[in-house]
Every structure is written in structure tokens, then in C-alpha cells.
Structure 1
Amino acid sequence: MIRIALAQFNPVVGDLAGNAARIADLADQAAVAGAALLLTPELALCGYPPEDLALRDDFYAENARVLAGLARHLPQGLAVVVGHPLMADGRRYNAATVLRDGQTLGVYRKQQLPNYSVFDEVRTFSPGSAPCVFEVDGIRFGINICEDIWFPEPMAQAKAAGAEVMLVLNASPFHVGKQTERHAVAHARVFENGLPLIYLNMVGGQDELIFDGGSFAVDAQGKIAAQCPAFEEGLHLVELNDGVPKGEWHDWPGIEASVYQALVVGVRDYIGKNGFAGALVGLSGGIDSALTVAVAADALGPERVHAVMMPSRYTADISLQDAEQLAKNLGIHYSVQPIKPMFDAFLAELAGEFAGRAADTTEENIQARIRGVLLMALSNKFGKLVLTTGNKSEMATGYATLYGDMAGGYAVLKDISKTLVWALSRYRNSLSPVIPERIITRPPSAELKPDQVDQDSLPPYDILDAIMERYVELDRSPAEIVAEGFDEATVRKVVRLIDFSEYKRRQAPPGIRVTRRGFGRDRRYPITNKYRAPFR
């Protein structure tokens, strides 16, 4: 029997010394637990993704120096597989080195470099071409890194070189349904090669990306023999008895639970890793800001969250009541800053310029921008980051104000459709009822003019979100969407709004990605663009 420790931990990109210290600590824990082998995630030493840090020669030199220092501080007798960037023969690699007793047992260079969706590794790395097989306690282990197991060749190559068990280091970001995809590809490789496989995944938030952990082991017959917790750091043990893995089992959370946990991790790590004092949220009495502030309180603790209600002449009394009750339920700091005096001052100042023109969205946007200025002033003064509250449906259609409700540092709901906002709010209330029911059930409104509701300007959200999913996430053409039974006029309207609003989205803050295709790293449309897809 051999015991393998899985270091499912949360590195910080660029914090080489901190990440090395964390690996050393986990190695000490693994040795105490009787492990003979410790596995760390992909690029654990530098964090993932390093992006253009991986184009700097000094970055590789410093990684090499820190890796050498780490090798000297690992427990005797423990083999440790460390993911790190490597410069060799004038080329840059995404690599893993096996260390034991100050010696190098082997080095593996990732062969398959992803260059799609949020991945851009062809820009920064060269592909490896050789297997790496090493022996611990009489068992021969092969290494693959993340994308390698999505292709048959790297694992087959390792088996041909004598591997009896495959170790896979990963920095695999979360999206809904991703764990099922990982299981499927692991099954495929196991069935092809007849080797057990141990899959370790990173955990934590890095800008837009969330790494969800969920490391697992698969036996040679394709059965999932162990599964680690989702979204949690920890050292987990897998035992190999005659090549059969066995370990702890944690059920995978459902859609709402997993997305909510991803949002909490994203806010916690973006604010924590970047050193902000806490979070500021403009609370409107509506469901988007309610969900955002609930996530922030869960991520940071209520003492680090400040919600500001900024009522206008159009804000309903129930919005004030619900916002105050929500803040009380969460135990966060809450203040009220009416914007009417400032709005009146703007209108008076602009009266001459606007003479003879009827009120329109200009006056609505002034209110949103006043709120943005107030929140950013509080952010500057107190060092807390403004969390924007717009959801994906609004970002898609441009139902948001530049330098107004889009002003802030991190967009929590940027990849959350309005229909999912409702589902997540009900999920959060199933844990403890903090969001007043009226916030969830009342018709959504920006409250920027009398009797305004979102559906004055947009199709019903269930229809809008279904069209958006097909056009944005699945890349279906307008004609294909209409062929599925959607009203052509509605599809035309939604597609036109999505295409026209790219210039707004390009100026939006980064936000948490939870779908196959969010507005950010993995959807890159030209702003200046005259192409219009045909409907026939």
C-alpha cells in the first residue's frame, strides 16, 4: 500500500515565496500523515494563469531559484510533484518537477497547450514531447498536466514508457457542468489505457476564473473511487492497494449551490488577494444588489461589507424598507445617501443646454452616475472595493449605465443571467432567510423614472435569457434560434442589443465566470463591427 497526498490548495499568482511556503507546509502535513508522494496543482509554484508574466525571462529565473530552495526544505523520503514554469533550451514550458531528498526524479513538460475559451497557453509556452515516468515504493507513476488528458497520446505515451498509475496536475476553471466533463474525459483515458488515474485540481479565485477543486481518483475499471470537496482547500489522501485507489468521497453540489460557492470564492479571493479593506455595494432594494451583498457578506464576513442606499425621487418606499431589512438581516454596515439634491443641481445646471428637449434616458443616466460617484468616493476614502451589481442579461443587452451602475472594481453577477439570479436568491434563503421575499417576487425596476419596470424595455427575462444563452454561449446563429421556435422580432431585438452593446462591456470591470462563455476573457468581439448575421 502507498499513500498519496493531494494538495488541493489556493496559490496566489506571482507570490512565489508564499506559494512555496504553502507547498512546504503541505509537504510536512503529508509526511506526518504517512504519505510517500505529494501532488500539487498545475503551475502551483507561480499560480495559474500567469498570463504575460510567463513571457518574462526574469520570472523563470526567479521560479527556478524558489524551486531550488523549496527542494531543500521538503521532508526526507517524501516525493513531491511541483507544478511550475520552466525555461530550458531557450524555450518556455508549463512543467512539473518531481523532487525527493533534494534530488530531481524527473521533469515533465506539458504537451497539449489549450488555446481556446479562457486559455491562451500557445502565446506563452512551448509544448513538450516526452513522457515522464518515475518510481516511488516500487510503483511507476506517469505525469500529465491538465489539457494533456483531453487527448489520447500523452497518457498512452506514458503507459508505453512503463507508467502503472497516472498523476494529472490541473488548474481547471469552473463552469456549470465542468466536473461531469472532467469525469468523462478521465474515464475515456482510463478505458483506453487500463491505468488508474489520480486527478488533482487547484482551488480558489484568480480574477475572472474560479478553480473548484473536486480532485478525484479513478480505478483501472473506470470507477470514481474518491472525490475531494468542491471549492475548499485541504490536504486529501488516496491509498493505492495493489493499484486500486481508495479515498474520501464528497458529493458534488447542485447547480445553484456550486454557482453560489463560486461567487463567494471569487469575491473572497479578489478582495483578499488584492488587499482591499472590504466591499462597498450600492443597495437599491432590488434583487441584483440583494444577491450581490449577500454574497459579499458570506465571502468576507458582515463586518467588512458596507451597503449604501441612494434613493432618488423615484425610489419606492418599499425599496427603502426592503434594503434596510436586508442589511439588518445580514448584519452589515448600512447607510442612506439621498441623491435628490445632487440630481436637482445637475438638472438646474444643464437646464439651459437641455432647453426645448424632453426628458429621456439622459436624466436616468445622470442618477446612476451620481450613485457611481458617491460609491467611488467612499471607496477612495475607506479602501473598500465597489462591487457592481449588474447581471449578465443586463450586460448582454446594454441595460446598464457606463460610469454609473457599471462603475466599480468587480462585477459579481457579470456571468449570472437574471433567471439564475432569482434561483440563487432562493437558494441563499434556503440556507438562512436573509433576502426579504418581496425583493424576490416584485417586478424588477431600475427606478429611474415613474412606474418603470425592466420589461418596458426588454423581453420577459425567461425568453431573453434563453436567446442570450444560444447566441452568446452556444454561438448559434439568429436563424437557428428562430428555427427553435423563438419569435423572430424578439430574436432580432435581442441580437441587435447584444451586438450594439459590446462597447459598454469592454469597459466593464472583470467579473466571475460560471458559464461556458462569459463576457470577458473568452468572448472577444470587435466593437467596430458591421457584420449582421442573416435571419434566412
Structure 2
Amino acid sequence: MYGFVRVAAAVPKVRVANVGFNVEHIVDLWRTAEERKVSAVLFPELGLSGYSCGDLFYQRALHKAVEEGLERLLEVSKGWKSVAIVGAPVWWTGRLYNAALVLQGGRVLGVVPKTYIPEHKEYYEKRWFVSGAGICGESVTLCGEEVPFGTDLLFEEKGRYLFGVEVCEDLWSVVPPSSYMALAGATLLFNLSASDEIVGKSEYRASLVATQSARCMAAYAYASCGMGESTTDVVFGGDVMIAENGAMLERGERFLDESQIIFADVDVERLENFRVSEGSFADGEIRTYRHIPVSPTFEVGTIERKIDPHPFVPSRKSERAKRCREIFAIQAAALQKRLEHIGCEMCVLGISGGLDSTLALLATYRTYEIMGRDPKGIVCVTMPGFGTSERTLKNAGRLCDGLGVALKTVDITEACLAHFRQIGHDPGDHSVVFENVQARERTQILMDLANELGGIVIGTGDLSEAALGWSTYNGDHMSMYAINAGIPKTLVRYIVAWAAEVYPAIADVLRDILATPVSPELLPAREGEIAQKTEEVVGPYELHDFFLYHMIKSGAAPRKLLFLARHAFGGTYDEETIRRWLEVFLRRFFSQQFKRSCMPDGPKVGTIALSPRGDWRMPSDAEVAVWLEELHSMAR
């Protein structure tokens, strides 16, 4: 469903050379995977025999037991949908191979031999095994049947996924075989491993798995043999993990004296979109592989995966602080370069007492700190009008006083009334004209004041507003440098909250700004209080940021956006509410592209940006009909 595939990685209890014992524990875990509707479950390297058999690999008795164990697995799995990837020693043309066997429904679908055979320090596999490098187009007889054999095998469930298999050391090589498998289209990669535990290796191993999943834009499942292996000279801890495009989805516990299995729902559709839209994936070498058909496995119904409702915001506080600090640094570096390039000493900002202008001021202030400049070179202008509340006006003044920047107040009321008279607009008509006249009057004041001072106007609009077109064209839409352009509203909040810790002298006013409803304050205030609340008009920013992230980042269609949002916001918004605001998002995103087509310069800070000179190129007159049709069809 919606491109999700459930995979598992398992570490069964193991006894060295006791194939019968090993097979029964593999069966138990495979049965669990089948019950959990897993498409493919991975087991460790040489799992049928045990990895640490040593010279017992020369013994015919062991290989006879392995074949009988394989027959047992095939017999038990008849009628099962899930695929199992198990490790076993395999004879072929008078040579012994450390191989991965791909099994489904009582059949061996194919056998992939290990390419890189370690022969260093505690590893000396070349004593028993030879490399499968270069073996292509071959077959091997197992349990009386000829099955495909070679390093040229990929396994495919038509219309859903393609997966490849490598074995342990293959991942540690300079160019892992899985890299070529990914370039040939494999979105799922599996590694049967036997990686011993030494100090510091666990962290490196996890980093290696996560990095390979990111480099290949794939999901990477890894399972290493457990504590039942021989401890003559080394200890195996049973490390098991599943990563997707650089993120660790699930990881098991090491040093367990019992079997374990972990599960993850992998978003294959998302991975495929990344490959099309990001990086240099399309330029990679495509090698020839045999595609081995996999019978239909399970469809994922309800996904067992956390969908972050705030994908732009790290969930852990320590990570949030790191993210905020880095964004602040990017903003400051960007503005510093611009100021130095044009030889400008002064910055002019419109300060409303709201979140966006607060962040723009903080980033500008930080730039002046870095450059060793007097903050009085920052000229803030508060421009009260018909909708300005006492709270925001007061907070604007407190913020500027606390930072020691210059503050100028220009009341726009009379200028707007004069303009209404000039164009024949009734000031009692609170239509878009009433609102936009104020926005453009403020922008005119800022631009003219910047000219007067020899400075530049710092824009305050954020990424979320650009996505929704929630700005007045050639009003607050325009500036001389848009320092917040790459930051979504949900993240703006956290950066301002983080700044309250960095600048304790202004912490109180920053916290009150955070507690103030988001508003353009263009409609007349009611008894000094805010009358116009943005999220009551366009919808919750946390929903819009969620839609924006998944639509742009992974090309998610309306059906999937709704599915993901239901899963992420199930306890917050009902489906009808999500659907309503999704339609608003889609309509506004398409209709407001003309504003983005001429947006001012501003730094990209995250993986999503909407600048027409950078990440997002979209016709201003593109139709939204296809997206709305899909959304509406789901309600029929």
C-alpha cells in the first residue's frame, strides 16, 4: 500500500555445526515474519551451519546436514508468501562458496555467493571459501533442482520492488556489490553477516550500514550472527539493523542469549522518487543482472512505522538545538557575504512583534556580532496600522531595546486612508484591497528608508508562506535579501525558542512572541487584541509543512499525503479536517507559484527550498486538476 514494503532482519539462536537446531530456530523466526506479513526476512551469514565451524567446513557430514536442513526449510515454507534469505556453504564445480540462499514458498529462488572473502587479522575465510566474483549466468543443483547461481542476481516482485543480496565483507569493500545492485534498480538491499564485537566496532558498523543506505538511496537490512557462535577467539553479538536512505529505522539489541527479530516498513516509492529527483544517481554505471521473479508477497495495510508529524523539526531536543545553531550560522554567513559584497553598513527590517520578523532580526543581529559591527546599524521599523495589537507593538519595542538596535515608529494609518481616497476604495470594505494597501505601504516605507540610509531591506517571510503564497505581491513578498526564505514556520518557532536560551536578556519577550497567535494584523483589532489569525484562514501550519515536505521531498501524491497525515496526526486532526486543509494547500501551492517565480535572493538551509533559481522550477500557470481529482476520488 502506497509503496510500503515490510522487511525483517533476524538473529536466531545458533549452535556451531548443529544444523537441525539452527534450522528450527530459523523456522520459528520465519514463521513469525510470515504472521507479521513481512515480504522478506534476513538471517545471518552461514546461518544453517553456524559461521565459526572452521575446518568442519571440509566435512561431508556437515554439508549433508546442511542439505537436509535446507530441505526442512523448503518443506515447512510451502505455501508461505514471505521470502527468507539464509546463509549456507554451497559446493559448485569443486569449490566451496559462502552463499546467500533466497527462499520462498518451498523453493530456492537463487543463490548469491560472497564476493569479498576476508583474509586478515581474525578472519581467514579463504582457507575454506572462494570468491563468487565474476560468476554470472550460472546455476547450481540444490535439493535436486537447478537454481540460478551467481553475483548477477536481483530478485523482483513485479510492480513493487527489486532487491539484492550481499554477504558481510562485501559491505566493507571499497565499492560494495550493493552499490551496483542499487544502480541497477534494487531499492532493498540485504546483508548476511558475521561481524565480531570489538570495542568501537558497533558504532562504525551502524554508520557503515546507514551510509550505504544513503549512498544507494535504498533500504539496507543487516543481520549478524549471535552469541551461540564459537568464542574461541572472538565474540559475536548478533547485531541487527534496518536503515533507509541514511536513517536508522530499527536496530536490535546485541548480546542476547535468545532469538530476536526486528521489523520495518520501508517506503520504496519514496526511495524511487529520490533517485529520480536527487543526486547523481542517474549517471551511475548500470551492470547487467538476471531478474529472478518473486511471487506476490504481503501488502502492507496499517504501517508499523513512525511518521513524524513535524518532518522539518528534529524530535530530540539536543538535535533540535544543533539544527537551530546550524541554521543560524547559515543565515548569518549568507547575510555577511551579501553585506560585504555590496559594501553595505545598514540593514532595515520591518518589526511586527511576530515570529518571522523576530527571527529575521535575530539572524541579522548575529551577523553583526560576527562582523564586529555596532547593532545600531540595524534599523528596525515598527509600522502600526488598523490591525496592530497592543501586545505585538509592545513586544516589538521590547525586543529592539533588548538587542540595542535602532527602532523607528511610522504609523501607516493616515497614509493608507489617503491611498484609499486616491483609488476610490471605501475603508469600511475590509477586502483584499484593504489588507494589501497596508502591506505595500509598509514595504514602500522600508525600501525608501533603506535608500535614505544606504542600506538594504531584510525580508521576513518564511518557506511556509512562500509555499502557500501567504504574502502580498510586491508587498511583504519583496525585500532586498530574504533571510528566512528557506525556513518553514514549524521550525521558525523552535529557532526562536532556542534563541531565548542563547540570549537570556531577551528570553521573556521571545517567549511571549512565541505565545502570540500568528497573524498579519491587517484587519482592525478588537479592543486592542488580534482579530485576524492566520491558521484560522489558511489552516494549521504544521499540516501545511507536512504536506510541503512530503510532496516536494518524495513526490507523494494526494492519496499518499492523506494516508501519511492520517497516520502522523491521528490523535490531533480527523480525516475530514486533514482532507480539507490538504485541498487548500494544493490549490494555493499551484495558484501562487507566480510569487515564487520572482522571489528575492535568500539562503537555502534545508533539503527543501522553493527558489526558482535553485530547487523548484514550476510554471506559474500549471494546473492543479490532476491532484484535486485524485484527492476527490478518494471521497467517492
TM-score (norm 2): 0.44
2:544 aligned residue (448, 458, 464): 464
Look up the SS of the partner of 1:344 in the other structure. helix
Separation in 1, partners of 2:434, 2:544: 26
Separation in 1, partners of 2:493, 2:414: 33
- The alpha carbon displacement at 1:406 in A equals 1.6
Over 3 Å counting, the alpha-carbon distance change for 1:355 and 1:317 in structure 2 is closer
- The alpha carbon displacement at 1:350 in A equals 2.2
Runs of 5+ unmatched residues, structure 1? 1-147, 154-179, 190-250
Instruction: Report what 1:496 is aligned to.
Output: 587
Separation in 1, partners of 2:213, 2:557: 32
Over 3 Å counting, the alpha-carbon distance change for 1:272 and 1:483 in structure 2 is same
- The alpha carbon displacement at 1:182 in A equals 13
Is this contact kept in 1: 2:379–2:406, CA < 8 A?
Answer: yes
Separation in 2, partners of 1:356, 1:340: 11
Instruction: Report what 1:350 is aligned to.
Output: 423
- The alpha carbon displacement at 1:439 in A equals 0.8
Is this contact kept in 2: 1:389–1:413, CA < 8 A?
Answer: yes
Over 3 Å counting, the alpha-carbon distance change for 1:526 and 1:429 in structure 2 is same
Separation in 2, partners of 1:514, 1:291: 14
Instruction: Report what 1:517 is aligned to.
Output: 608
Mapping for residues 12-27 of structure 1, pairs under 5 Å: none
- Residue identity opposite 2:475 in structure 1: G
Separation in 2, partners of 1:422, 1:397: 18
- The alpha carbon displacement at 1:471 in A equals 1.7
- Residue identity opposite 2:537 in structure 1: S
Over 3 Å counting, the alpha-carbon distance change for 1:152 and 1:256 in structure 2 is same
- Residue identity opposite 1:476 in structure 2: A
Is this contact kept in 2: 1:277–1:382, CA < 8 A?
Answer: no
Instruction: Report what 1:279 is aligned to.
Output: 347
Instruction: Report what 1:322 is aligned to.
Output: 395
**Deviations 1:301-358, CA, capped at 9 Å, x for gaps:** 413211100111221112221111100111111110110110110112222xx46994
Instruction: Report what 1:453 is aligned to.
Output: 533
Look up the SS of the partner of 1:298 in the other structure. helix
- The alpha carbon displacement at 1:531 in A equals 4.7
Separation in 1, partners of 2:481, 2:561: 32
Instruction: Report what 1:418 is aligned to.
Output: 489
Look up the SS of the partner of 2:458 in the other structure. strand
RMSD of aligned C-alpha atoms? 2.9
Q: Considering only CA atoms, is the larger Rg found in Structure 1 or Structure 2?
A: 2
Is this contact kept in 1: 2:427–2:434, CA < 8 A?
Answer: no
Is this contact kept in 2: 1:284–1:319, CA < 8 A?
Answer: yes
Look up the SS of the partner of 2:400 in the other structure. helix
Look up the SS of the partner of 2:349 in the other structure. strand
**Deviations 1:500-525, CA, capped at 9 Å, x for gaps:** 11001112101111121201111101
Mapping for residues 336-375 of structure 1, pairs under 5 Å: 336-351=409-424, 354=425, 358-375=429-446
- What is the number of equivalent residue pairs in this alignment? 299
Over 3 Å counting, the alpha-carbon distance change for 1:355 and 1:282 in structure 2 is closer
Separation in 2, partners of 1:335, 1:313: 18
**Deviations 1:99-145, CA, capped at 9 Å, x for gaps:** xxxxxxxxxxxxxxxxxxxxxxxxxxxxxxxxxxxxxxxxxxxxxxx
Instruction: Report what 1:386 is aligned to.
Output: 457
Instruction: Report what 1:440 is aligned to.
Output: 514
Mapping for residues 248-259 of structure 1, pairs under 5 Å: 254-259=322-327
- The alpha carbon displacement at 1:184 in A equals 2.9
Instruction: Report what 2:152 is aligned to.
Output: none
- The alpha carbon displacement at 1:431 in A equals 0.7
- The alpha carbon displacement at 1:529 in A equals 1.4
Instruction: Report what 2:502 is aligned to.
Output: 431
- Residue identity opposite 1:258 in structure 2: E
Look up the SS of the partner of 2:602 in the other structure. coil
Mapping for residues 145-184 of structure 1, pairs under 5 Å: 184=211
Instruction: Report what 1:159 is aligned to.
Output: none
**Deviations 1:192-243, CA, capped at 9 Å, x for gaps:** xxxxxxxxxxxxxxxxxxxxxxxxxxxxxxxxxxxxxxxxxxxxxxxxxxxx
TM-score (norm 1): 0.52
Runs of 5+ unmatched residues, structure 2? 1-174, 181-206, 217-318, 370-374, 525-530, 567-574
Instruction: Report what 1:200 is aligned to.
Output: none
Over 3 Å counting, the alpha-carbon distance change for 1:186 and 1:330 in structure 2 is farther
- The alpha carbon displacement at 1:183 in A equals 9.3
